[in-house]
Structure 1
Amino acid sequence: MSNFASSFVSFDIPNWFDNKHLTGMLRGIEKEGLRVRPDGYLAQTPHPAKLGSKLTHPFITTDYSESLLELITEPKTSPKETLNMLRQLHVLVYQGLPEGELMWPLSMPCMLSSKDEDIPLADYGSSNTGKLKTLYRSGLGIRYGRRMQTIAGLHYNLSFGDGLFEVWQAQTSTAQSQTLTEFKNEKYLGLIRNFKRLTSLVLYLLGASPSVCPCFVAGREHDLELLNDSTYYKPAATSLRMGKLGYTNSVQEQLDIRYNYLPEYVAGLRRAIQTPHESFEKLGLEDADGNPIQINNHILQIENEYYSPIRPKQIAMSGETPTEALERRGIAYVEFRAIDLDPYSDVGIRLSSACFLEVMALYCLLSDSPDLLPEEEETLAINLERVVNEGRREGLHIINNGEEQLLESWMLMHLERMQPLAALLDAHYGGNDYRAAVALMQGKAVHSESTISAQVNSDSKRLGSLWQLGFTLAQQHRKSLLQQTLSPNTQAQYEVLAEKSILQQADIEKAETADFMEFLQQYR
């Protein structure tokens, strides 16, 4: 059993570390959001032409469904700049949406049709690459149902500058024989293991999906209660999105993909892509007319199908898979994936949450990180399920170091250890955003009614339903975003980008001569 939580009763910042080693930190956000009609039902319109090609646009695309927008910022040198770009992308979306359409502010969808086929798959055009992207989504739909794929979330991507790792490596006698890339891989994987150990903290503090609309659970077994006649919930839940009802996958629970060293992680993922799975074999590869319905019948169709609260990432070149990129160039950044949309923010995340995630990432990086083995993974899964379903229940315990511990005292212990790191981040960036963020989270740890999930429940009660809350907030966000304008220069740059992306897609489609079935056979 790992002792991450108790291996350092007091967390000491390494003596070589100071705020100048934070130079070169970069962060970016990927934010999903459903487009909905003025009556709150899922939009059936195609991706707005004004937003460019979702196949080739670098910042505005779609995730699973044609209606599920995904907005991607560039890597930026401060959280404020990142949120600023995210806001610009939201303004552009609202300028391009059909009359009256809204971006749904909640992670969990509402007003879905009971028929799966009413959730349109994202269409990326007639190129083989585009068709393969749509086929992957078709496979997800037949495997897990399309409703699950309409859940939206936010990914926070973060990297630290090479300067930090160079100084650290020079201080580490055992690391002298490693290349810088090998040393970085080791440290980033340490961060990932510790983040997995602290995922429950993130779900309690940032979870915003304690309830669902009835359409989401129609025909499924569940143990939710009625908040009112049109909302199901758990009174003390934090993030149903991250639990059994949401983005989880029983097939993948048996995968045993480990994060102790990079070749092991890569091998685990590849094994899953190469191993057929009985229930997916039964679905078949083609429909009655011979059209492909999934890429393959393996545990994973592609590497991105693996759901994890955090992932090591490297930017893939054209034609390269994510694991090939990792193998060749090492880990470039980490992707924090366990984050619900904050419905009270017009862009889905507040500055305080972004700053908190960065403090926590630094804490996970600089803390001891023993290997993470299946036995501890099982304990972490138990903790996660407890916090998902009843994280705000007074007196809730989690398992820490083999013993039951109060969730509140466990959270406060870690948050207190993060304070000096928040001070260093503030010293580096100026201001007190990071210390304020940690102080805010300490308040939430003690007062569960101040968490986002508690607020969602009380506002859903007050307004009459979760749908009414989502709809009210969506209209408010639309109004505030449409009042904001981009500078003429910025507006023009984005317009050129959208036009260019449409031309790029046309070029790709024109250049391709291979038949899709041949292309698919080669890919398989």
Structure 2
Amino acid sequence: MFSTIGQIIFDNEAVAKTQDFTMGLEIEMQRVDENGELSKEPYPSGVGDEKTNPWVTNDFLETMSEVVTPPASHALDAMHYLFGLNNALRTALSPGELLWPLSMPPALPADLDEQRSLLAKADPSKEEYLEEWLNRHGFSEGTPSGAHINLSIDNRVFDLVYTYLEDRFENRIELENYMYTKIAQGFMRYRWLITYLFGASPIAEKNYFETGEGPANPIRSVRQSSYGFGTKFQGDYSDVQSYVDRILQGAEDGILISDYEFHGAVRFKGEGPLKDLPQSGVKYLELRMLDLDPSSSVGVRTNTLRFIRLMASYFIMTPPLRPEEVGKVLERANQMNEEVATEIPTEISKYQTNARAFLNRLEMYANQIQLGPEYQEEIEDLEDRIENPRTTPSARLVNHIKDDSLVEYALIRAKRYQNSALQSIRPFTGFDIACNLSAEDLKLQLFKGNWEPGMDK
């Protein structure tokens, strides 16, 4: 079952280190008023300058707030950082403002001038980019929100593997790129399963689609389907060099505005320009395939993060795709994701057997490396979603659709989460003094006296 790298890790009793991913979260949510319309209030001054604060900023729209956590060693730490920042944002909102808990936006304005006025305020180069993006893709496609997970492999894993395989790689960076590529291929290959298990955008609200466009019925995930976000440019995950070459070629050919426009479900991230990535090395992966979970005030659940970590660990330990198979397998996986995303949420998936087989394999892996009961419980819960599609997030949302809209449900959730945040005994307010806080300073100030990072995995 294990690959050469996996066997080295297993034989050296270092499997636990493959669970110790450094994790960062980026959660986008729209600011709305109590009627469920995009807010007309300015960006909350209580969270600092939207152009310079790296921890609470904006995205495509001025109303699209994005919370970015400092890196965390454990899933619970990441969630506590997210909860603290989410509360800081909520308590800084103007009276009557709420955070929309769904990935698909509320009703959008139809007027073009009003749409342009909502574009995010940023530095001139980003504002120019947003204008060009709007001209190319239209307003709607920039408005869906999601939960992004950044994963970085523990350096001790690289240290161990490199001592055994130094002769197979020119240098350590080549090994690191190889291992990140293995994980990226795994997530792209099984993206369809994540869409099935966690998809939570069955419909779009008014003015997202032009009349006569869009799906004819609720689906599992509008956002993760071809109806969803922005450019449909496909990445090349054969290796890091191929990934870079394809994106740069897309920018040169004018298919992409710039390399920044590549918004694949998985992105390789490093330091410096994209063209230097093969030499400078991948530092982490950005996973972009999760819809917001409206059952959580922060848009994602701890158990979901644990499952993503389990998948990543499994991809490290098991054999990769053969190079000549990558293109064909991932092309099929993209098609599977489209089919799953556009299925009726309450019905059994066409790929139920495939999903059942993969979760069985993950369960065997979790048992083999003796993970804790929380992983076993999460797998059992997800197995139930496979057998009973009505328990999936998207199917649950279908129960709340009224007059082809989820606005009533979304506002009930939004008001509940907002009221809870306003009752916080000690919300973080440090951004109104200084927004250029380092990650370490932010961690200390977020949890002064009420949380000790590293308490739980």
TM bucket (normalised to shorter chain) is: 0.7 to 0.9
The whole-number CA distance in structure 2 between the counterparts of 1:492 and 1:41 is 27
Larger Rg: 1
Match of 2:262 in 1: 306
Structure 1 residue 167: deviation in Å? 2.0
Determine the structure 2 residue equivalent to 1:383. 336
Q: Does structure 1 residue 84 correspond to structure 2 residue 80?
A: yes
CA deviation map 1:143-192 (0-9, x unaligned): 111111111011011111121122223344762x4311110101110111
Q: What is residue 201 of structure 2 aligned with on the other side?
A: 209
Q: How far apart are residue 322 of structure 1 and its match?
A: 3.7
Structure 2 match to 1:454: 395
The verdict on how the C-alpha distance between 1:248 and 1:149 changes in structure 2, with shifts beyond 3 A counting, is: closer
Name the structure 2 match of 1:520.
Answer: none
Query: Counterparts in 2 of 1:337-486, with a 5 A limit?
Result: 337-370=288-321, 371=323, 373-390=326-343, 392=345, 394=347, 396-397=349-350, 407-422=351-366, 427=371, 432-461=373-402, 465-486=405-426
- Tell me, yes or no, if the aligned pair for 1:346 and 1:481 is still in contact at 8 Å: no
2:218 counterpart of 1:240: no
Structure 2 residues without counterparts, runs of 5 or longer = 439-457
Letter in 2 for 1:408: Q
* Larger CA deviation: 367-376 vs 92-101: 367-376
The answer (yes or no) to whether the contact 2:25–2:68 under 8 Å persists in 1 is yes
Q: Which residue identity is paired with 2:361? A: R
Q: What TM-score do the two structures reach when normalised by structure 1?
A: 0.77
- Count of matched residue positions in the alignment of Structure 1 and Structure 2: 431
Residue 364 of structure 1 deviates from its aligned partner by 2.0
Residue 245 and residue 440 in structure 1: after superposition, are their counterparts in 2 closer, same or farther (change >3 A)?
A: same
What is the CA deviation profile of residues 115-150 of structure 1, one whole-angstrom value per residue up to 9, with x for unaligned ones? 2332311112xxxxx111111111111111111111
One-letter amino acid of the counterpart of residue 331, structure 1:
V
Q: Bigger CA drift: 464-473 or 368-377?
A: 368-377
Map of 1:5 onto structure 2: none
How many Å apart are 1:45 and its aligned residue? Answer: 2.4
In structure 2, the residue corresponding to 1:212 is in which secondary structure? coil
The within-5 A match list for 1:29-108 is 29-108=25-104
C-alpha distance in 2 between matches for 1:149 and 1:174: 46
**Cα drift, residue 394 of structure 1:** 4.5
The answer on whether the counterparts of 1:165 and 1:183 sit within 8 Å (CA) in structure 2 is yes
Structure 2 distance, partners of 1:136, 1:426, is 48
> Could you tell me which residue of structure 1 aligns to residue 246 of structure 2?
268
Decide whether aligned partners of structure 1 residues 72 and 395 sit closer, same or farther in structure 2, where only a CA change above 3 A counts.
Answer: closer
Distance 1:328 1:206 in 2: 35
Shift in Å at residue 301 of structure 1? 1.8
Cα-to-partner distance string for 1:343-388 (whole Å, 9 max, x where unaligned): 1100000111111111111112222222354433332222111100
Which region of structure 1 is more displaced relative to structure 2, 65-74 or 163-172? Answer: 163-172
Question: CA, structure 1 residues 246+492, in 2 after alignment: closer, same or farther (shift >3 Å)?
Answer: closer
Find the aligned partners of 1:391 and 1:160 in 2 and give their Cα distance: 36
SS in 1 for 2:156: helix
1:328-349: per-residue Cα shift (whole Å, max 9, x none)?
Answer: 4201111110110001100000
Post-superposition CA distance 1:474-517 (Å, at most 9, x none) = 11111122222336xxx35444333889xxxxxxxxxxxxxxxx
Q: Distance in 2 between matches of 1:426 and 1:93?
A: 39
- Secondary structure of the equivalent of 2:267? strand
Native 8 Å contact 2:244 2:275 kept in 1: yes
Query: Per the alignment, in what secondary structure is the counterpart of residue 334 of structure 1?
Result: strand
Q: Which moved more, 1:136-145 or 1:374-383?
A: 374-383
SS in structure 1 at match of 2:185: helix
Write out aligned runs for 1:482-497 (5 A): 482-486=422-426, 491=428, 493-497=430-434
Q: What is the SS of the residue equivalent to 2:132?
A: helix
1:12 shift after superposition: 12
Q: Give the aligned residue type for 1:81.
A: D
Cα gap change, 1:391 to 1:442, in 2 (>3 Å): farther
Paired with 1:492 and 1:472, the residues of 2 have a C-alpha distance of 26
Percent sequence identity is 25
Q: 2:283 aligns to what?
A: 332
Structure 1: tracts of 5 or more residues without a match: 1-7, 125-129, 226-232, 276-297, 398-406, 502-524
Deviation per residue, 1:401-447 (Å, 9 max, x gap): xxxxxx122112111222255458875xxx63322222211111111
CA distance in 1, matches of 2:34, 2:226: 31
Between the aligned partners of 1:182 and 1:391, the Cα distance in structure 2 is 43
| Among candidates 240, 254, 259, match of residue 237 of structure 2 | 259
Aligned counterparts of 2:52 and 2:23: Cα–Cα separation in 1: 22
Are 1:24 and 1:162, in contact at CA under 8 Å, matched by a contact in 2?
Answer: no
Instruction: Check conservation: 1:211, 1:240, Cα contact below 8 A.
Output: yes
Please say if residues 52 and 499 of structure 1, whose CA atoms lie closer than 8 Å, have aligned partners that are also in contact: no
Counterpart of 2:131?
138
Secondary structure of residue in 2 paired with 1:497: coil
**For residues 496 and 24 of structure 1, what CA distance do their matches in structure 2 show?**
34
Match of 1:25 among 21, 24, 46: 21
CA contact (8 A) 1:79 1:354 kept: yes
CA contact (8 A) 2:2 2:317 kept: no
Counterpart CA distance in 1 for 2:81 and 2:275 is 29
2:434 is aligned with what amino acid? L
CA shift for structure 1 position 200: 0.5
Task: Give the TM-score normalised by the residue count of structure 2.
Answer: 0.87
Q: Distance in 1 between matches of 2:180 and 2:437?
A: 36
CA, structure 1 residues 346+32, in 2 after alignment: closer, same or farther (shift >3 Å)? Answer: same
- The answer as to whether partners of 1:355 and 1:434 remain within 8 angstroms in 2 is yes
The question of whether the paired residues in 2 share the 8 Å contact of 1:426 and 1:434 is answered with: no
